[in-house]
A = this chain, B = another copy of it.
Amino acid sequence: MIIHLKEGIDEVVAKELSQSLEAIYFVEHTRYVLVNAAHNKTLKDAIKPYVDQFFVFDSDIQLASRKYFNQTRSIQIDGLTIGGGSENTLVITGPCSVESEKQIEDCAQFNKRLGIAVLRAGCYKPRTSPYSFQGLGDEGLELLKKIRAKYGLKIISEVRDATHIDEVIEAVDIVQIGAKAMYDQGILRKCGQTRKPILLKRGFGSTLQEFVQAAEFILSLGNSQVILCERGIRTFETKTRFTLDLCGVAYLKAHINLPVFLDPSHAMGYAYGVPDLTRACVAMGIDGLLIESHPKPSEALSDASQQIDFEAFEDLFNSLPPIAASIGKTII
Contacts and interface: CB of A to CB of B under 8 A. Distances in A.
A243 B240 contact: no
A254 B279 contact: no
Contact of A322 (B181, B242, B245, B326): B326
A266 to B, nearest CB: 10
A209 interface: yes
Contact of A128 (B132, B184, B210, B239): B210
Contact of A207 (B163, B237, B280): B237
Interface in A245-289: 245-251, 253-254, 267-268, 272-273, 276-277, 279-285
A302 to B, nearest CB: 12
Given A162-B162, A247-B240, A129 B60 contact: yes
Interface string A226-241: 0000001111111111
A207 B128 CA distance: 11
Contacts of A273: 247, 250-251, 254
A37 B246 contact: no
A326 to B, nearest CB: 4
Contact of A216 (B37, B130, B272): B130
Nearest to A185: B161
A129 B213 contact: yes
B254 A248 contact: no
Contacts of A60: 128-132
Nearest to A206: B205
Nearest to A60: B129
A184 B165 CA distance: 13
A245 B243 contact: yes
A24 interface: yes
Interface in A272-321: 272-273, 276-277, 279-285, 319
Of all A-B residue pairs in the complex, the 5 with the closest CB atoms, nearest first, are A205-B205, A250-B273, A161-B186, A283-B283, A37-B131
8 contacts: A128-B213, A128-B214, A129-B213, A207-B239, A232-B247, A237-B248, A244-B247, A319-B327
Given A60-B131, A239-B248, 20 more contacts: A24-B130, A35-B131, A62-B131, A128-B183, A161-B186, A162-B162, A162-B186, A207-B238, A209-B239, A232-B247, A233-B236, A235-B243, A236-B236, A243-B243, A247-B267, A247-B273, A276-B285, A279-B285, A322-B325, A326-B326
